[in-house]
Amino acid sequence: MFVLPWLIGLAVFQLGPMIASLALSFTRYDLISSPVWAGTDNYARLAQDPKVARAIGNTVFYTVLHVPLAIVLALALALMLDRIGGRGAGVFRTIFYLPSMTPYVAVGVLFLFLLNGQAGMVNQFLALFGVEGPQWTTDPDWILPGIVLMSLWNLGSTTIILFAALRNVPAELSEAAMIDGAGSWARFLRITLPMISPALFFVLIINTIASLQMFDQVYAMFFGNQVTQQSSGDAALFYVVYLFQQAFQFLHMGYASALAWVLFLVIALITFVQWRVGGRLVHYEGGERA
Amino acid sequence: MGFGLPDEIASVRVDLFKKANPQVTVNINEGAFDEQAFLSAVAAGNPPDVVYLSRDRIGSYAARGAIQPIDACVSRESIPTGDYYPAAQAQVKYGGSWYGIPEFYNSVVLIVNDKAAEDAGVDPASIDTSDWDALGRLAEKMSKADGGRIERFGFNPKLPEFLPLWAKANGADLLSADGRTAALGDPKVVEALRYAHGLVERQGGWKRLKAYVDTWDFFGGENPFVKDQVGMMLSEQFLVSSMAGSSPDVGITVLPFRDRRGEPVNYVGGNAWVVPKGARNPEAACRWMKTMTAADTWIAAARARQDKRAQEGKVNIGTYTGNVKADETIFGEIVRPSGRKPFDDAVKVIREVQPVGFAVPQSAAAAEFKKAWEDAGTRVLLEGQAPAEALEQAQAEAQKAIDEAGS
């Protein structure tokens, strides 16, 4: 009985729409008229659509850059937080988490200004060192790196998870290693990293999934209105943005459903592979393995 | 949905409707048109009674039945459709039926920064866009850069947004009149894109120029003409209207954009009222559309605007309604010369180009069609794709979308 409300919510708001979208992915459906059975046409079309290939390329490029950078930076921030004690600790934790409270759309618009190639603060900063910065928001070669840069603004959740994991590393392990002559790098590599590996594994999975589903900030930056839509072409076309365009701009809801299911399967596959590979690398204190 | 009450032009007309129809409860969900919210509401069978959107979206929605034909409404309420400009009429019709009532009529004109013209040694009034070679040389002369930093964009041809205008100036249309055959690969369209892209390239390239344009405050007191950031620019007339309010002393000259034969050419746009499928109160929606766009209603709103601007001591260049009858009264009786020559002359130019307005015909795949040629323009501007190749790709994409939507 306790889980009944959750089960009802799951059925109505998650499983129901998922099953419906699976069914719609085999139809031609424009949201207005009744769906017409199309067999596997949408999936066949998807395999030949050059924009899908471009969107996958952009999304994978972003994921490959964003996920390791986000985890390394968040770990660095978490290590810094872990060293701060006393009254200042709470203040710094709050400050580190604050960017995560900023709405995604606001972040997108803010970074359009910061990354502007002619007047943005990023290039002004680079100019201090004599570097002529690129046109982050208008040069197709630099749009994705610019988006990765923007994505590193929001590391609060990852930082807090890793920070909590660091707090749980038993101090006596480090002390024992120190007595045995281990240096700080060796202690980090041999003790800290294995002890926080379940948390690292968790943030790896959730960051990968979030990256593959990237939408809000990119949409606000490059697709939010007619002028921004024209400014980047397909250089900022992420998979979910293309899915949204097909569903609500071009009214191809059947095709968009097929796109959504392919994304779901790809994410499931990547997560499975990560789980299998990660299971061998993650240290669980109780000896359990994934 | 899609409408707001930001000024007297909106509020006066809404008040007139309420006064004439006290039995109708008006709930305005203020905000820009949101296609996701609109389509979700229609799909869920709970749409608003009337929706306000850009006219260029009508074809896609009409073809799929998301909006209703309103022929019965037009005849029942005796809506004088002949009062609307022909280009506006064409934009709200699909397959021979009325699907919307047009509102506003945005004309594209050339706005020249007098200081930039003076720096280039030309009389701004003498600038003639029909001579493409001379136009290119002038654009270069008006441009200013310090190394990689743009200081003035000589001539902003507004690509890819105004590709239909450049094509028309070169004697070509992007789409057949019946909306079924794309003509993006037409050599004249290719030539127009190649020329306009060349203009951008000789001024520093779109990557830099677009980033520079993104820093402009178009509608404020520090607009690009006040700040000498642009030499010439193609723009809808509402930018002139905005400058009349925000920077009445700005030194500009407004000119018609002329095709290569020297004739004025004008790419028009605007909004429309439409009735979604499943609207519960289509009769009231019909009366709303009629009242909001009737000549008398527009005239009342335009008078309120003139009075307000006069009280504030501001220049008023009038309201461009989409209704020919209303415009005749507004510009014949209400809008008076302000004594500011740039704006008084601008009104004459805008009125002069209104009759030659054209729009891209409606098609069942209007959204995909537009995306195809916009993307082609962007690929040329940013990715260095050859215009012929980009437009050939766009032609294939657009025709496929049109064929599929019509099947």
With contacts defined as CB-CB under 8 Å, which chain A residues touch B39?
A: 31-32, 248, 251
Of A139, A249, A251, the CB nearest to B64: A251
The CATH number that applies at residue B369 is 3.40.190.10
The first and second tokens of residue B163, run together, are 């590709």
Q: Using a CB–CB cutoff of 8 Å, tell me whether A17 touches chain B.
A: no
Residue B53: Cβ-neighbour burial (10 angstroms; 0-12, 13-18, 19+): buried
- pLDDT at position A290 is 44
Q: Is residue B321 part of a domain?
A: no
Among chain B residues, the shortest Cα distance to A247 is held by B36
Q: Using a CB–CB cutoff of 8 Å, tell me whether A248 touches chain B.
A: yes
Asked if residue B246 and residue B161 are part of one domain, the reply reads yes
Q: Is residue B342 part of a domain?
A: no
Tell me which of A48-62, A86-100, A145-159 is least confident: A86-100
Asked if residue B159 and residue B75 are part of one domain, the reply reads no
Q: Is residue A76 part of a domain?
A: yes
Q: CB–CB of B383/A233 below 8 Å?
A: yes
Residue pLDDT, tens place only, A109-124 = 899 999 999 999 999 9
Q: Can you tell me the distance from the alpha carbon of B54 to that of B105, in angstroms, rounded to the nearest whole number?
A: 11
Q: Can you tell me the distance from the alpha carbon of B144 to that of B231, in angstroms, rounded to the nearest whole number?
A: 9
Q: Is residue B309 part of a domain?
A: no
Among chain B residues, the shortest Cα distance to A246 is held by B368
The CATH number that applies at residue A157 is 1.10.3720.10
Model confidence, pTM = 0.87
Q: Is residue B227 part of a domain?
A: yes
Chain-chain contact of A230 with B377 (C-beta, under 8 angstroms): yes
Q: Using a CB–CB cutoff of 8 Å, tell me whether A34 touches chain B.
A: no
Asked if residue B286 and residue B210 are part of one domain, the reply reads no
Q: Is pLDDT at B272 greater than 50 in this prediction?
A: yes
* Single-letter amino acid code for the residue at A230: Q
Q: Is residue A27 part of a domain?
A: no
Please state, in angstroms and as integers, the Cα–Cα distance from residue B57 to each residue in A17, A94, B173, B196, following that order. 28, 46, 19, 26
Q: Which domain holds residue A246?
A: 38-281
With contacts defined as CB-CB under 8 Å, which chain A residues touch B401?
A: 250
Q: Can you tell me the distance from the alpha carbon of B264 to that of B256, in angstroms, rounded to the nearest whole number?
A: 6
Tally of domains in chain B: 2
With contacts defined as CB-CB under 8 Å, which chain B residues touch A139?
A: 207, 382
Q: Look up the ipTM and state it.
A: 0.81
Asked if residue B198 and residue B121 are part of one domain, the reply reads yes
Q: Is pLDDT at A227 greater than 70 in this prediction?
A: no
Please state, in angstroms and as integers, the Cα–Cα distance from residue B46 to each residue in A16, A76, A248, B54, B279, following that order. 21, 51, 17, 21, 7
Q: Is residue B331 part of a domain?
A: no
Residue pLDDT, tens place only, B72-115 = 999 999 999 999 999 999 999 999 999 999 999 999 999 999 99
Q: Is residue B148 part of a domain?
A: yes
Q: Which domain holds residue B44?
A: 8-106+268-300
Q: Using a CB–CB cutoff of 8 Å, tell me whether A21 touches chain B.
A: no
Q: Can you tell me the distance from the alpha carbon of B366 to that of B369, in angstroms, rounded to the nearest whole number?
A: 5
Q: How far is A85 from chain B (nearest CA, A)?
A: 43
Chain-chain contact of A32 with B208 (C-beta, under 8 angstroms): no
User: How much is the average pLDDT of B193-216?
Assistant: 95
Asked if residue B176 and residue B221 are part of one domain, the reply reads yes
Q: Considering just the CA atoms, what is the radius of gyration of chain A in Å? A: 23
Interface A-B, measured as beta-carbon pairs within 8 A, has a size of 92
Q: How confident is the model at residue A225 (pLDDT cuts 50, 70, 90)?
A: low
Asked if residue B71 and residue B147 are part of one domain, the reply reads no
Residue pLDDT, tens place only, A234-253 = 899 999 999 999 998 888 99
Q: Can you tell me the distance from the alpha carbon of A33 to that of A27, in angstroms, rounded to the nearest whole number?
A: 12
Tell which of B300, B321, B347 closes a domain.
B300
Q: Is residue A2 part of a domain?
A: no
CB within 8 Å of B141: residues ≥ 6 apart: B119, B120, B121, B154
Q: Is residue A15 part of a domain?
A: no
Q: Can you tell me the distance from the alpha carbon of A73 to that of B62, in angstroms, rounded to the nearest whole number?
A: 51
Asked if residue B79 and residue B128 are part of one domain, the reply reads no
User: How much is the average pLDDT of B263-284?
Assistant: 96
Tally of domains in chain A: 1
Chain-chain contact of A32 with B39 (C-beta, under 8 angstroms): yes
Please name the residue ranges forming H helices in chain A.
4-9, 16-24, 41-48, 50-83, 88-101, 104-114, 121-128, 140-151, 156-167, 171-179, 184-187, 193-212, 216-222, 226-232, 239-244, 253-281
Q: Is residue B343 part of a domain?
A: no
Q: What is the overall mean pLDDT for chain B? A: 95
Chain-chain contact of B375 with A233 (C-beta, under 8 angstroms): yes
Q: Is residue A120 part of a domain?
A: yes
Q: Is residue B312 part of a domain?
A: no
Q: Can you tell me the distance from the alpha carbon of A224 to that of A264, in angstroms, rounded to the nearest whole number?
A: 25
Helices and strands (H, E) in chain B, number of each type: 17, 12
